[in-house]
Amino acid sequence: MNYTAAFEKSVAHFQEMSLAEIEKFSGYPVQGNQIKLNFLGQHFRVEYPSAKFEPEPQVEGELPIFARILILHYLCNQTEKSLTGQYISYKELPGGGIYNQPFSNRAIRPMVEHFGGNPEKLLKAAQPIGGTPVKLGDVAVTLNVFPKIPVTLVLWQADEEFPASGNILFDRSASELLPTEDYAVLASFVVMALKKYSG
């Protein structure tokens, strides 16, 4: 994927929005010409209309371009739809069935490989970035990656018959907020962040 072209397109869309619309639909506060946001434990100010990302406090290196694209896509959503509280899997998103295997390879398999042998480690890794335990599988945690986009990671421990397994779930309203392909990128980024926090 050409991330540079995708970033430029997402910046152009961002610049078509007004600050009032961004604040209304995203759930993030606007101060002056900046949107203040928390993304998986990292705090940023996004300047409008330049789409310049300023980390708080300053950290080494930039936020990866695909993460900046995701954030801009979310800031440009124009839905007032509320969370339903109902879980769906990736394959239930529009067109998700076609890409379910790549999604699994990109996000679910790395999660299971890293946390499957010790599911409690998932809960500990999620804690510093606001993860909340939920009653699914053997261990599950929900991260509010964006105000309107919770991501729920579920693990089942291995037993005598089956190896460890897992799933990554979204709210039924997910397709109203981001395109399906963004959820594959988002889920893999969440798993990478959790692996980092797990030490």
Give 199 or 157, the one with higher predicted confidence.
Answer: 157
Note the pLDDT tens digit of each residue in 19-47.
999 999 999 999 999 999 999 988 899 99
- The pLDDT assigned to 162 comes to 92
Measured over the CA atoms of residue 63, residue 68, residue 70 and residue 71, the dihedral's sign is positive
Q: What is the pLDDT of residue 17?
A: 97
Name residues whose C-beta falls within 8 Å of residue 83's C-beta, 6 or more positions apart in sequence.
Answer: 148, 150, 171, 173
What is the structure's pLDDT at 59?
A: 58
DSSP state for residue 171 in the 8-state scheme? E
Topology of the domain comprising 87-197: TATA-Binding Protein (3.30.310)
The model's pLDDT over 80-122, given as tens digits with 9 standing for 90+, comes to 889 999 999 999 999 999 999 999 999 999 999 999 999 999 9
pLDDT score recorded for residue 160: 87
pLDDT attached to residue 42: 87
Q: Is pLDDT at 61 greater than 90 in this prediction?
A: no
Buried/exposed code over 148-158 (b: 16+ C-beta within 10 A; e: otherwise): bbbbbbbbbbe
Match 């991501």 to its residue by tokens. Answer: 151
Tell me the per-residue pLDDT of 134-168, one tens digit each, with 9 for 90 and over. 999 999 999 999 999 999 999 999 988 999 999 99
The pLDDT value given to residue 56: 81
Domain definitions of the chain by residue range: 3-75, 87-197
Q: Would you state the pLDDT for residue 134?
A: 97
Quote the pLDDT of residue 1.
64
Separation of alpha carbons 179 and 97, rounded Å: 14
Please report the pLDDT score of residue 199 as a whole number.
76
